[in-house]
Chain A
Amino acid sequence: MTTTDDAWLQIHGLSKQFGGAHALRDVDVDIHSGEVHGLVGANGAGKSTLIRCLAGVTAPDSGTITLAGEEISISSPRDAEKAGLAFIHQELNLVPHFTAIENILLGAPKEKRLGMIDWKRSRRLAREAADRIGVGFSLDRRVDELSVAEQWLVMISKALVRNSSMIAMDEPTASLSDQESNHLFRVTRDLAASGVAILYVSHRLDEVLELSDRITVFRDGRVTDRAVRGQLDKAGLIRAIVGQDVEKPSRERHSGVDRSATALFSARNVAGAPRVRDVSFELYRGEVLGIGGLVGAGRSELAKLAFGAGKLDGGEFQLAGKTLKPGSIPRAVASGVGLVPEERRSEGLMLDKSVAYNMNIAVLKQLRSVPSLPFVSGGKSRARAQRLIEQLSIKTPSPAQTIGSLSGGNQQKALIARWLTPDVKVLFFDEPSRGVDIGARHEIHEAIRSLAADGIGTIVISSDVEELAVLCDRIVVMCEGVVSGELVGDEISEKRIIELSYAHLQPAGSPEHPSTPDPLEGDVA
């Protein structure tokens, strides 16, 4: 691959491993002054890690970063700022009750006169930065009164006041209207024209193609393609993101699923703030249903809605043909819905309590000595914990062991065990194998399959397409809050899941997926 010598920022041979997983493998990227440089790739492809390395948040294991011909080391966000690199993330780092100008100047080197901060001059610099990108609102307004688009402009002004030579933008248009996006595109182009390098990270491929002078594509921690404007079209971009080698033989899937019977669990036109707009699906007895899509597509939010943790704005969930009353977790639990949450430590575990305690906390009523008295039987609690420890082969010295000392995989199994009661009917698994080793991952998959075989509705949310492909009998793919397609049985492949994850980006009327010959069978939003 080509590495031009005159690039302003040269990243060479960058590698980073987390545990055993390669987040970045020998990555080369050149960024020139005055260009918009698009970074694309599926979840976990390596874009974020690269950005974190540049921002001084993550330290790479090896590789060099050269700035204007000089090798630099970025070991803290401060180093990054000194090097002229600015980063704007989706969660804009603004102080809500400060004004726009206060935010712009916050932490910036202040103009001084006679040892005192020259506010007048500082304000003028801020104003100049804002004018450069056509800020039309008063800088004396509080940031929490501004729209998201206006807040983006504040963040960009903030970068300009610091004389940043590169601005990295992460999913800038995710919550902007079309009109606001267009304004941001104009600003982006103008900035590039004035010599600032823009690193543009987005899942919206049309946008990236339209804006970028050059594009770098990531897959599995590697750079898989580089292109200059006009070299790639969308089909080619998707091919580069998906890769050609993912058409693996899928596992033998459940053939005994009766999809003519009443669905065990279904969603009908479900909508709920902030991310779920219109989702329908059915889950039949005996199958594992997967929900795929990019991070931010609204999958976890969908699960939380079904679990009663969130306000349902429209539609309904049905359990065995009966409508679930929304908006209450205890009611959802009583109806037999369970959720193994995405964030194991913060949403799932009481870390300094025992394994048995963590397993039993959702089913205490069933463990009473006498059903009508509120006393929990220690014997029953231990017996249930012991039984589930054996059933899921959880490695722990005893049920009384503090759960925080177990490995991630065993903690995850204990969380699954929490919901295994005679009453449970539907279980959501949100990223069930995140942060667990390969052996535990396999065991967790086995457990989920055997639950499905026992007639429990199992719904797996995962950003890991391989996991979905090997585990699920049917996959619903979500994109920006709507279902972009459904894959059943042999239609399932990693490639198709990724394609559908980007499906919303198809302009209306254009051919579905130029990269695949067979037309999509599911519905497309």
Chain B
Amino acid sequence: MSTTVAPAGPAQSVPPADQKQRKSSKRVALVILSRYGTLIGLGLMIIGFTIKAPTTFLTLPNFLNILNQSSLTAIIAAGLTMTLVVGEFDLSIGYVASFAGLLVVGFIARDGMPVLVGVPLVLLIGAVIGATNGILVTKVRINAVIATLGVGTVLVGLGFAYSAFPIAAGVPQEFIQIALSRLIFGVPNPIFIMLIVLAILWVVLNKTDLGQKMQAVGGNIEAARLSGIRVDRVKIFAFATAGVCAAITGTLLSSTLGSGTLAAADGYLLDAFAAVFLGSATLRDGEFHIVGTLVGVLIIAVGFNGLSIFGAPTWFQPIFKGAILILAVGLSTLARRYAKE
């Protein structure tokens, strides 16, 4: 029975000016804080560090350093952003990055593959791993947290197995130069690679029909399905993108380190999550987006940079990281709640 004949009150839509008047000033303040709080925080940090340490913090080399350190996190976090946009999770990205880092060094240094073959091959493997995550989540219907944690753990094992074979020859300079050289204006390559990856993902998300569909799937999956969107495919694509991005980060890390090291990139998982959630509370009301993710990454990088400039003890770093993650998710949740009210 449909006894609830609840007409939605007056017919006319509420003009936005009218709406704003109804908001109490406290609410407006909260909205501003939740949308711009992260940017204000970033600004305050930069100002504070500049005042405290003008000669070390506010220098071009230090800025390039911060950006260079941010770029690997930004790439992997941008991939994670895609999965969060479609309303899923990916806990495997750190492991994918570590695994890709091992493989790429193995392929090039041990198996003698040319860089131009080895690197694309590893990115392809990243895509396949990501797509596997996506298929497990959509077709087999395993909860994303479990599926991606399981896949990630399998990759840890495979990494051990793969690294059991010694790498005889050294890593070729050609590979190391990917991350270390400064091809344009003396700016480190990873910064450019980051900008390219972020630009591509931004365009995909905002300018293509696929991106619009991704946002629809994340916004209301049932409505997306009933609009004729192939929800599963869209999700699998998002996971595959996250896999490729993780593989890029892993490759760049190995190039920076000059070796493939076990578990080298595992820690990126937490940074990426913190960055993406900080980003979702930046300029938007709890919506995941690429520009926000970049801001989130910068906040974390600037924070760390400041900590090391001021010689904070090592034990303080994980505390800072954990606090940022909680703060980020909290801000993002608050932003969403206030946007709804």
Contact = CB atoms under 8 A, between A and B. Distances in A.
A44 B1 contact: yes
Contacts of A44: 1-3, 5
Contacts of B226: 307, 309, 329, 339, 341, 347-348
Interface string B11-44: 1111110010000000000000000000000000
A463 B209 CA distance: 36
B120 to A, nearest CB: 22
Nearest to B219: A350
Contact of A49 (B3, B9, B11): B3
A341 B8 CA distance: 17
Given A309-B226, A352-B219, A397 B2 contact: no
B15 A397 contact: yes
A20 B277 CA distance: 43
Contacts of B228: 329-330, 332-334, 362
Given A329-B225, A361-B213, A362-B227, A397 B5 contact: no
Interface in B96-147: none
B293 interface: no
B224 A20 contact: no
B208 interface: yes
Given A309-B225, A375-B207, A409-B8, A357 B212 contact: yes
B55 interface: no
A439 to B, nearest CB: 5
B157 interface: no
Given A350-B223, A374-B209, A405-B19, A23 B5 contact: yes
B285 A352 contact: yes
Contacts of A349: 220, 223
B220 A395 contact: no
A48 interface: yes
A432 to B, nearest CB: 13
Contact of B207 (A334, A376, A395): A376
B213 A48 contact: no
Nearest to A329: B228
A407 to B, nearest CB: 5
A440 interface: yes
Contact of B208 (A347, A352, A362, A374): A374
Interface in A429-449: 431, 434-440
B215 interface: yes
| Interface size band for B | 35 or more
A176 interface: no
B6 interface: yes
A401 B220 contact: no
Interface residues of A, number: 62
Contacts of A435: 5-8
Contacts of B1: 43-45, 47-48, 295
B222 interface: yes
Given A19-B9, A374-B210, A405-B13, A330 B4 contact: no
B339 A361 contact: no
B7 A20 contact: yes
B229 interface: yes
Contacts of A409: 8, 11
A330 B230 contact: yes
Nearest to A337: B228
Nearest to B210: A374
Interface string A327-348: 0011011100001010000111
Contacts of A401: 13, 16
Given A346-B222, A362-B228, A401-B16, A376 B6 contact: no
A352 B218 CA distance: 11
B216 interface: yes
Contacts of A334: 228
A418 B16 CA distance: 23
B224 A361 contact: yes
A348 B221 CA distance: 10
B2 A361 contact: no
A353 B219 contact: yes
A137 interface: no
Contacts of B216: 350, 353, 361
A437 B10 contact: yes
Given A346-B222, A350-B216, A365-B209, A463 B2 contact: yes
Given A362-B229, A365-B209, A409-B11, 12 more contacts: A19-B7, A45-B1, A339-B226, A341-B223, A350-B224, A351-B220, A352-B339, A361-B213, A364-B212, A376-B208, A407-B13, A408-B7
Interface of B: 1-16, 19, 207-210, 212-213, 215-216, 219-220, 222-230, 285, 287, 339
The 8 closest A-B pairs by CB, nearest first: A333-B228, A408-B8, A364-B209, A350-B219, A19-B7, A21-B5, A48-B3, A362-B227
